[in-house]
Amino acid sequence: MIDEQKIKQLLVDNNLLTDSTILIKPLGTGERNQNYVINNKLVLRIGLMNQSEKYLKREFDWLKRVKAHAPTPLYLDTSSKILEKPFSILSYTKGTIKGNWTNEQIAVHAKNLANLHSNKSNFWGFGQKNKMLDIEKSFLRDVRNINCETDQEDKEIIKKTAAILHQHLTLFSEIKQFSLIHGDCCNSNILHHNEEINYIDWEWSAYRDNAEDLARLYYPNSYCPPWTIQTSKEQIDFFIEQYQKYHPDPTLKKRVELWNLLQRTTDYLYFKRVLQQQQFNDIPKEAYEHTVKELKASIQ
């Protein structure tokens, strides 16, 4: 439970809300944060993990740069003095998640990403210290961080994915500039409202390969709601073609394919770990079971 009186007083003291009545309702629990909606105007995000203050601050700082199609960062407290845990307050993003997208929606998403990715850096990562991206090392580091209990089949999948990425290292090492990306631009973080498309959960934002964001929307030949959309090869080609209208890139399509392979493998291991540890939050166990089955079939 949260101390609603403290939150209400904070909102008044900082002129974040002038409504005479303040209503705080649960919005949902994610992997890192517990979320509440306040008067359908603000979102209170309370950290759930040991390093929550780092992730909340990182998201808050990135949102200052993003501006369009994203929540506005309004208040951050990592002291754990007002509440027992660190928290942030962002503007509320209206919208719903859609499993099936029209070509018009795909085109809007492509344009939004291209605009976001126009923010460039010569260095990649959260701290922007590196000039060359080694996708194989990045993949193997992610696998170690997931720390899933793996069997022999999993080890073969990891080995196979790493070998394919190794064959194409120069595609990534030759990137001259990196883009500001969302970092977790899966379907469950994309909200449709009227004709607009907006994005939530920005804690994984960084300067990286722009192809990474495009690959997050779908799994080829697999539909795993709520994380991906149901799509066809024609729609995938259309998506990349629309993006290229605003952000030309001769090797983009191949890099998207490779990022998608990487993400299917790491997602398979991550969702498998969720099942092992029974950490389901707001998404039912059956969705994780379905996704693990689909992803394993797609990467064997």
Average pLDDT over residues 196-215: 96
pLDDT in tens, 106-135: 999 999 999 999 999 999 887 777 788 899
pLDDT at 49 over 90: no
User: pLDDT value at position 131?
Assistant: 82
The Cα angle at residue 1 between residues 274 and 285, in degrees rounded to 5: 20
Q: What is the pLDDT of residue 56?
A: 94
Residue 148's pLDDT is 94
Report yes or no: 53 and 78 within 8 Å, Cβ to Cβ.
yes
Where in the chain are all domains bearing CATH 3.90.1200.10? 103-299
Quick check: 255 and 173 in contact, CB under 8 A? no
What average pLDDT does this structure show over 220-243? 96
pLDDT value at residue 1 = 64
Model confidence over 10-27: pLDDT tens digits? 999 999 998 989 999 999
Q: How far apart are CA 61 and CA 246, in angstroms?
A: 26
Element (H, E) at 141: helix 135-146
Return residue ranges of the chain for CATH 3.30.200.20.
4-91
End-to-end Cα spacing for the chain:
44
d(CA 289, CA 272): 8
> pLDDT tens digits for 133-184?
899 999 999 999 999 999 999 999 999 999 999 999 999 999 999 999 999 9
**Total Cβ atoms within 10 A of residue 205:** 25
Q: Fill in the DSSP letter of residue 20.
A: S
- How far apart CA 55 and CA 34 sit, in angstroms, is 13
* 300: its two tokens: 């064997």
Q: Which CATH architecture has domain 4-91?
A: 2-Layer Sandwich (3.30)
Q: What is the mean pLDDT of residues 213-240?
A: 96
The answer to whether residues 133 and 208 touch, using CB atoms and an 8 Å cutoff, is: yes
pLDDT of residue 243: 98
Q: Which fold has domain 103-299?
A: Aminoglycoside 3'-phosphotransferase; Chain: A, domain 2 (3.90.1200)
